[in-house]
Structure 1
Amino acid sequence: MNINDDPLEKSTALNFAKLQLATAREINRYLNSDKDFRPRKYSRENIRRYLANPETYERQIRETSQYLYSTSSNYLRICQHFSKMLTLDNYIVPVNLDIQKVNQDSLHKNYDKAQKFVEAYNIKHEFRKIIDVLVLEDIYFGYEVRAGDSFGIFRLPTNYCRITGIEDGSFIFKFNMQYFSDGKLLEYFPNDFKDMHSKYLHSNEKWQEVDSNRGICFKIREDLTFPLPMLSGVFEDVLDLEDKKDLVKRKNKLESFKLLHQKIPYKKDPKKSDDFLIELDSVQIFHNNIKQSVPEDVVVVSTPMDLSEVSFERKTNSVLNNASKEEENIFNSAGVSNGILGSDNSNSVTVKQGIIADASIMFALLRQFETFFKRRLKDVTSRDYNFKLEFLDNTYYNQSDKVKEYTTLGQYGLPKTHLAATMGITVSEMNALNYLENTLMNVVDNMKPLSSSHTATDESKKGAPEKEDLTPNGEKTRANKSI
């Protein structure tokens, strides 16, 4: 008899079908849990559309860079590799100094003014924050806030600024006054912005020029008129890596998954298809009891059919290997040697050459900083004595080599300022320390070196200690020397 002709058997089959459907849903819920897969704010299609027309989607591209910086450890490390490498070592030097006509007192006073002005910027702290933004977004807008000897940099929202030109080698820009549409944010901005806002209300011109003597604007990609993050080319590679990481999670979860089969027995001599030894209600009770006693990664299935073993374990780590490959692709797309960030696939020569190439990009940014300070220092000192701030092409990767280089040059009479700057000592600090050690504390005469093979006066104690264990040839050589 066909099951479709028997209402009882049809009902029983449907009840079993419901039981198995519930099991299938349980398996799907376990393997596709939302908590195991991170949502993606930006799709590949969106990113491709943005990068195909970067001038139109400059805001979306910056926001994508910010998003990846906060969600991808690989993208964060590459960004920080660039933004943290510069030591920002600097020193002040006179410009066009006529040595024959110099007035030492006047020069000294003006130099002190320039030095105090530059030190107030707290360059190694404030400008490092600027570089962080530049690597992430390609552009930085800020405003100097001064009150007596105190100084600070107020960062302006990039979306409401736009470059309008270049003055004395530095970018000048305007600010969109519609940022203060609700009137609440204006009180947190410098007073100059209140004056700009008043001009906007009277003229209805929303874009107001920011004072070029206070405005700060730097840009890594000076060849472009619009902002484009320097690492925008790796966006898709980062997404590929994040997808591979999710696949690794799913793979691990699938390999730990177990299917527990509970077979429902038939009677000894069944007469029909639903002639089971155990009633369906009892099967349901046993099924639920077992399900409650097993862990989450074990699913119970109850069926009268034989069920063969199901294994989800992979024989190779292809998914994991693919994830490692995607990680290398990110470094390659960024032009960064993956050996810098911990890969074992690069030798020291490759890493060193990679650092030199990366540093050359950041050194160009130092030239912008020098132009910025050259303009600022014009208003600090007298017309007779002008100064400029120069940044050494030093990184935390080449710092030790630079110390050796400048030490050797100093021994041949070249200026010592480069060495002091490389060691993180400003000129004012160097002068103060020299006075403190040489004049006030007389460190040179009071300090006595520790006794060593180089300072010992006893002839018998000079040189390295003799070895106790010698080879036969060594003992023969020592005996010959003693004769």
Structure 2
Amino acid sequence: MRNDYIDVAYGLMNLNIKFYAPYFFRETLIDGVTYFYKYEDATGVGYLKFPSEWCRVSNIQDGVYRFRIDMSKIKQEIYDMLPTELQQAYDTYHGGGDKDETKWYDNKWYYVEDGVAFTFDPNVIVNGGQAVSPFASVLLDSISLDKAKDNIEIKDNLDTVRILHSKVPVDSNGEPSIPLKHVKLYDELMKARLPEGVKAITTPTNVTNIPLNGAGNSGGYETVGKTLEQVFFDLGAPGAMFGGTTNSANVVKTSIKKDANWIYTNLFPMLESYYNYEISQIKTKSKAKWVIKFIRESNFTLKDDIASYKDQLSFGGSRMDYMAASGMNPEEIISKLEFEQKVLDIDSLMVVKPTSNTISSKNSGNSNGNKNNLNPVKGEVGRPKTDNPTDDTDRLDGGA
């Protein structure tokens, strides 16, 4: 079992969970559903991501989403970049030969054996293998936010516009008393010399003074603020977390715990199912079943989370859970502890120093037991008998 643990621990190390798991999480939040193909060699493990428009979730195997890929959308130009499995599927599709019904659907959808899909939508299979991001509504609110900002710019432009009116003189019949070609020339000369934001008009009629100040959306900034709050609401985060007005830090603290709990109940089970499947592919001598579990802790509440696992040790809790909560990987637990205990013999090197909590005054003296010290209180511990001690003041017996 000990050797099996080492094999499984180093198998997990090759999967590089700390790097790829956050990547899976980010891409799935953006796309709603993501499709990856795992490839592996002697140096480690990598993942090839396929576009969402190529793939469909087909089934669930051992808690892991599997998918099919539309071979009709794969072009010859990317053939050399495909893994061997998909190159063979490409040749089969374009070769026109018989296709295995267990791997092909509708003559073009190929079931990817080493593929894995990630999604937070439990109805993805019912919905034809497609899903949308849980934050898709944020896109609509972000568009509304842009429109609200545009309204503010329109309002600011209207507030700064000024109009100059040049009236053309007319006779008693209402006809211009000067040639129209002269009117046109005057109008062009005036417009050529006006600063930006000032407009000129030339007409023979009267122009009513209509001030444009305040003609735009008077509540433009308020609209932007409310729209921004809606964006935070759709994200599940209060505006107070990003510097908004709040009267209590509990708002932020509660929101952080809620977001962490969302990850614990949605992300972690999905990743655990996938990595448990990968562990099952590791051959061990005892053939015992090994599983992985992510410690439920957050960087924002790390001290309290570690303290919880530490307190459980007093009641027979798992030391491995405590070490994992402290940041140790499975392979670190056995390699680091064995190296410290068996190679360094660290307990003999790091001897506990005597303090008032560990020894009493009757244990005082130097390390070889000689009481004839040059310093009469060297090695003595405990509380002095007087409130104003000196170097030769007697100390109370710590064991009394």
TM-score of the superposition, structure 1-length normalised? 0.61
**1:168 alignment partner AA:** D
Distance apart, 1:446 and its partner CA: 8.5
1:242 maps onto 2:143 in alignment: no
Distance apart, 1:167 and its partner CA: 1.6
What is the aligned counterpart of 1:354 among 244, 247, 255?
Answer: 255
Decide whether the 8 Å contact of 1:260 with 1:301 is kept in 2. yes
Decide whether the 8 Å contact of 1:135 with 1:229 is kept in 2. yes
Counterparts in 2 of 1:124 and 1:259: CA distance versus 1, 3 Å? farther
1:403 maps onto 2:293 in alignment: no
Counterparts in 2 of 1:285 and 1:369: CA distance versus 1, 3 Å? same
Could you say which residue in structure 2 is the equivalent of 1:77? none
Distance apart, 1:321 and its partner CA: 0.6
The Cα offsets for residues 260-309 of structure 1, whole Å up to 9 and x where unpaired, read as 33445x49xx6554455x75445444433342333332212234555454
Between stretches 315-324 and 201-210, larger displacement belongs to 315-324
Counterparts in 2 of 1:434 and 1:310: CA distance versus 1, 3 Å? farther
- SS of the aligned residue for 1:386 comes to coil
Q: Distance in 1 between matches of 2:237 and 2:329?
A: 32
Distance apart, 1:370 and its partner CA: 1.0
Between stretches 306-315 and 427-436, larger displacement belongs to 427-436
1:198 maps onto 2:99 in alignment: no
Could you say which residue in structure 2 is the equivalent of 1:288? 188
Q: Comparing both structures, which one devotes a greater share of its residues to helix?
A: 1
**1:241 alignment partner AA:** L
Decide whether the 8 Å contact of 1:339 with 1:346 is kept in 2. no
1:209 maps onto 2:111 in alignment: yes
- SS of the aligned residue for 1:151 comes to strand
Could you say which residue in structure 2 is the equivalent of 1:159? 53
Q: Distance in 1 between matches of 2:123 and 2:348?
A: 53
**1:289 alignment partner AA:** L
Q: Distance in 1 between matches of 2:52 and 2:244?
A: 35
Q: Distance in 2 between matches of 1:272 and 1:112?
A: 107
Distance apart, 1:441 and its partner CA: 11
- SS of the aligned residue for 2:284 comes to coil
Decide whether the 8 Å contact of 1:337 with 1:355 is kept in 2. no
Q: Distance in 1 between matches of 2:328 and 2:164?
A: 70
Could you say which residue in structure 2 is the equivalent of 1:323? 224
Distance apart, 1:222 and its partner CA: 1.4
- SS of the aligned residue for 1:163 comes to strand
Q: Distance in 2 between matches of 1:394 and 1:138?
A: 25
> Comparing both chains, which one has the higher relative contact order based on Cα–Cα distances under 8 Å and sequence gaps of 6 or more?
1
Distance apart, 1:400 and its partner CA: 3.7
**1:156 alignment partner AA:** F
Counterparts in 2 of 1:311 and 1:424: CA distance versus 1, 3 Å? farther
Decide whether the 8 Å contact of 1:420 with 1:427 is kept in 2. no
What is the aligned counterpart of 1:256 among 157, 160, 164?
Answer: 160
Q: Distance in 1 between matches of 2:123 and 2:66?
A: 16
Q: Distance in 2 between matches of 1:333 and 1:378?
A: 39
Decide whether the 8 Å contact of 1:338 with 1:346 is kept in 2. no
- SS of the aligned residue for 1:393 comes to coil
What is the aligned counterpart of 1:188 among 69, 81, 85?
Answer: 81
Could you say which residue in structure 1 is the equivalent of 2:368? none
Q: Distance in 1 between matches of 2:340 and 2:81?
A: 46
Q: Distance in 2 between matches of 1:294 and 1:437?
A: 83
Counterparts in 2 of 1:224 and 1:179: CA distance versus 1, 3 Å? closer
Q: Distance in 1 between matches of 2:196 and 2:326?
A: 58
Percent identity of paired positions between Structure 1 and Structure 2: 18
- SS of the aligned residue for 1:330 comes to helix
Could you say which residue in structure 1 is the equivalent of 2:274? 372
Q: Distance in 1 between matches of 2:247 and 2:111?
A: 50
- SS of the aligned residue for 2:270 comes to helix
Q: Distance in 1 between matches of 2:88 and 2:110?
A: 10
Consecutive unaligned residues of structure 1, counting only runs of 5 or more, are 1-106, 450-456, 461-483
**1:388 alignment partner AA:** V
**2:305 alignment partner AA:** K
TM-score of the superposition, structure 2-length normalised? 0.72
**1:186 alignment partner AA:** Y
**1:256 alignment partner AA:** T
The Cα offsets for residues 93-112 of structure 1, whole Å up to 9 and x where unpaired, read as xxxxxxxxxxxxxx333222
Distance apart, 1:410 and its partner CA: 5.2
Consecutive unaligned residues of structure 2, counting only runs of 5 or more, are 100-106, 354-380, 385-400
Q: Distance in 1 between matches of 2:316 and 2:195?
A: 77
What is the aligned counterpart of 2:62 among 164, 168, 171?
Answer: 168
Distance apart, 1:148 and its partner CA: 1.3
Distance apart, 1:422 and its partner CA: 3.8
1:125 maps onto 2:19 in alignment: yes
Q: Distance in 2 between matches of 1:176 and 1:427?
A: 39
Q: Distance in 2 between matches of 1:444 and 1:237?
A: 63
The Cα offsets for residues 138-194 of structure 1, whole Å up to 9 and x where unpaired, read as 2121110111132101112222222222222212222111122x4222221111101
Could you say which residue in structure 1 is the equivalent of 2:33? 139
Q: Distance in 2 between matches of 1:444 and 1:299?
A: 90
Q: Distance in 1 between matches of 2:124 and 2:344?
A: 55
Counterparts in 2 of 1:161 and 1:271: CA distance versus 1, 3 Å? closer
1:311 maps onto 2:211 in alignment: yes
- SS of the aligned residue for 2:37 comes to strand
Could you say which residue in structure 1 is the equivalent of 2:242? 341
Decide whether the 8 Å contact of 2:64 with 2:117 is kept in 1. yes
Counterparts in 2 of 1:281 and 1:423: CA distance versus 1, 3 Å? farther
**2:261 alignment partner AA:** S
Counterparts in 2 of 1:411 and 1:287: CA distance versus 1, 3 Å? farther
- Alignment RMSD, CA only? 3.6
Counterparts in 2 of 1:375 and 1:435: CA distance versus 1, 3 Å? closer
- SS of the aligned residue for 1:132 comes to helix
What is the aligned counterpart of 2:119 among 219, 237, 250?
Answer: 219
Q: Distance in 2 between matches of 1:232 and 1:433?
A: 45
What is the aligned counterpart of 2:289 among 386, 395, 399?
Answer: 386
